[in-house]
A = this chain, B = another copy of it.
Amino acid sequence: MDDRALSKNAANYVSLTPLSFLKRAAAILPDRVAVVHGGTRRSWAETYARCRRLASALQRLGVGRGDTVALLGANSPETFEAHFGVPMAGAVLTSINTRLDASTIATILAHAEATVLLVDREFSRTVARALPLLARRPQVIDIDDVAFGGGELLGTMDYEALLATGDPELAWTGPADEWQAIALNYTSGTTASPKGVVYHHRGAYLNAMSNAVWCEMGQNPVFLWTLPMFHCNGWCFTWSMAAVAGTNVCLRAVRAEPIMSLIDAEQVTHLCGAPVVLATICAAAEQSGWRPPRRVTVVTGGASPPASLLERMDAIGFDVLHGYGLTESYGPAAVGIRDAGQAALGVRERARLKARQGVICPATEDLVVADPATLAPVPRDGKTLGEVLLRGNTIMKGYFKNAAATEECFRDGWFHTADLAVCHPDGWIEIKDRSKDMIVSGGEKISSVEVESVLARHPAVLEVAVVARPDPKWGESPCAFITLKPDTALGEREVIAFCRQHLAHYKVPRSVVYGPLPKTAIGKIQKNVLRERAKALSLLI
Contacts and interface: CB of A to CB of B under 8 A. Distances in A.
Interface of A: 1-3, 5-14, 16, 20-21, 24, 27-30, 32, 66-68, 92, 112-113, 179, 181, 184, 198, 209-210, 212-214, 216-220, 243-244, 337-340, 359-360, 362, 365, 390-393, 395-398, 400, 403, 406, 410, 413-415, 427
A107 B399 CA distance: 54
A410 B12 contact: yes
Contact of A398 (B12, B112, B210, B219): B12
21 contacts: A1-B66, A1-B92, A1-B113, A3-B397, A3-B398, A6-B406, A7-B397, A10-B413, A11-B413, A11-B415, A12-B391, A12-B392, A12-B393, A13-B393, A14-B365, A16-B393, A24-B360, A27-B427, A28-B360, A209-B209, A216-B218
Contacts of A113: 1
A220 B359 contact: no
Contacts of A403: 5
A12 B396 contact: yes
B243 A362 contact: yes
Interchain residue pairs A-B with the least CB separation, the first 6 = A10-B413, A6-B398, A28-B359, A6-B397, A12-B395, A11-B415
Contacts of A397: 3, 6-7, 12
Copies of this protein, total: 2
Contacts of A3: 66, 181, 198, 397-398, 400
A212 to B, nearest CB: 5
B8 A179 contact: yes
A413 B9 contact: yes
Contacts of A9: 410, 413
Contact of A2 (B14, B30, B66, B392): B66
Given A12-B396, A398-B6, A28 B391 contact: no
Nearest to A30: B427
B184 A220 contact: no
A68 B3 CA distance: 11
A104 to B, nearest CB: 19
A57 to B, nearest CB: 20
Contacts of A393: 12-14, 16
Among A112, A212, A360, find the residue whose CB has the most chain B CB atoms closer than 10 A: A212
Contacts of A213: 209, 212-213, 217, 243-244
A396 to B, nearest CB: 7
A109 to B, nearest CB: 12
Contact of A362 (B1, B209, B365): B209
B338 A220 contact: yes
A27 B181 contact: no
A132 B68 CA distance: 66
